[in-house]
């Protein structure tokens, strides 16, 4: 083959057939996804801190569970020093830097104009809807929960965490109300972060709640606090979108969709922010939470390279 610059390249016939006629990339580098609801509480995916810190097999187990279930706990993580939480998360990949900083360690003091920095109840949502590329993973570690003055430390003070499998909810929605599912995949919305002075972040374009690629749901983008005005001219009226959104919201709030868990010091929660929505109940007192965001591409790379051999990985991404 003679290029326009006069350079001659030679290719085997098998190579040409490989790319011209069909895609023969190795599709065995995959992970079956297990959709779940409230029943996951009986046996949530978990790996230990020592496993993750001491071997790549531990990282392989952790990332495989996140791929399969959309989340995993890291048990027995030391809680006296948040830097140890940072270290275990960096076993997956480097921490993403955002306008919130990198590794975060905060209390509900409204240091940032975001509902996460309050003690209010939060419904199921995804983070970073205002980014073109929302963070792939998010992690929380409850370091402490100090009760209000005069309240015993043994008294439950709220702040239970909520997880909802967005892919499972979308599957049920598509079955029960195909029209609502269609609307949420078609109507593209404005998203933004503009509560803090000097920060106005919005994606490169409008994105729907349910992002479908090649017929498969690839990402859920849902946070009413970050959503702009529902636009006209997207094939459906705003009234139709709101009707579909109400159906979606009702589905997320069903008892069988919700997994409630009380986080405790030593138990790190890591979840797929493209799939699993999170929330919490209101709480009293002061909770200290640390954690981080991790990029999607980087944690998927780590999953591939700890769960499959190098040749299989290259065959899957190059061909």
Per-residue pLDDT tens digits for 248-282: 999 999 999 999 999 999 999 999 999 999 999 99
Answer whether residue 141 shows pLDDT above 80: yes
Answer whether residue 319 shows pLDDT above 70: no
| pLDDT tens sequence across 221-258 | 999 999 999 998 889 999 999 999 999 999 999 999 99
Answer whether residue 10 shows pLDDT above 90: no
pLDDT value for 77: 98
Phi-psi region of 6 (alpha: psi -120 to 50; beta: other; left: phi over 0): left
pLDDT band at 181 (very low <50, low <70, confident <90, very high): very high
44-148+156-317 has which CATH code? 3.60.130.10
pLDDT band at 111 (very low <50, low <70, confident <90, very high): low
pLDDT value for 148: 82
pTM assigned to the model: 0.90
pLDDT-wise least confident of 48-57, 117-126, 184-193, 292-301: 117-126
Answer whether residue 297 shows pLDDT above 80: yes
């Amino acid at each position: 083959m003679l290029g326009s610059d006069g350079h001659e390249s030679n290719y085997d016939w098998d190579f040409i057939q490989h790319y011209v006629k069909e895609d023969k990339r190795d599709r065995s580098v995959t992970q079956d996804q297990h959709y779940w609801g409230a029943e996951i509480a009986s046996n949530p995916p978990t790996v230990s801190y020592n496993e993750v810190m001491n071997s790549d097999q531990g990282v392989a187990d952790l990332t495989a569970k996140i791929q399969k279930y959309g989340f995993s706990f890291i048990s027995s993580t030391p809680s006296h020093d948040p830097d140890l939480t940072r270290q275990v998360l960096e076993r997956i990949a480097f921490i993403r830097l955002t306008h919130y900083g990198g590794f975060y360690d905060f209390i509900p003091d409204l240091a940032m104009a975001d509902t996460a920095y309050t003690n209010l109840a939060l419904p199921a949502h995804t983070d970073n809807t205002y980014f073109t590329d929302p963070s792939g993973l998010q992690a929380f570690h409850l370091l402490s929960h100090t009760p209000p003055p005069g309240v015993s430390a043994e008294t439950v003070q709220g702040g239970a965490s909520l997880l909802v499998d967005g892919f499972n909810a979308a599957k049920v929605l598509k079955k029960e109300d195909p029209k609502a599912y269609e609307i949420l995949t078609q109507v593209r919305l404005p998203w933004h972060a503009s509560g803090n002075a000097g920060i106005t972040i919005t994606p490169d374009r409008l994105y729907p709640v349910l992002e479908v690629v090649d017929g498969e749901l690839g990402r859920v983008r849902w946070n009413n606090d970050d959503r702009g005005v529902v636009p006209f001219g997207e094939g459906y009226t705003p009234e139709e979108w709101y009707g579909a959104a109400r159906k979606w919201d009702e589905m997320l709030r069903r008892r069988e969709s919700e997994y409630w868990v009380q986080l405790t010091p030593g138990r790190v929660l890591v979840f797929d922010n493209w799939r699993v929505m999170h929330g919490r109940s209101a709480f009293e007192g002061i909770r200290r939470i640390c954690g981080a965001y991790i990029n999607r591409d980087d944690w998927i790379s780590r999953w591939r390279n700890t769960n499959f051999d190098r040749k299989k990985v290259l065959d899957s991404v190059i061909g």
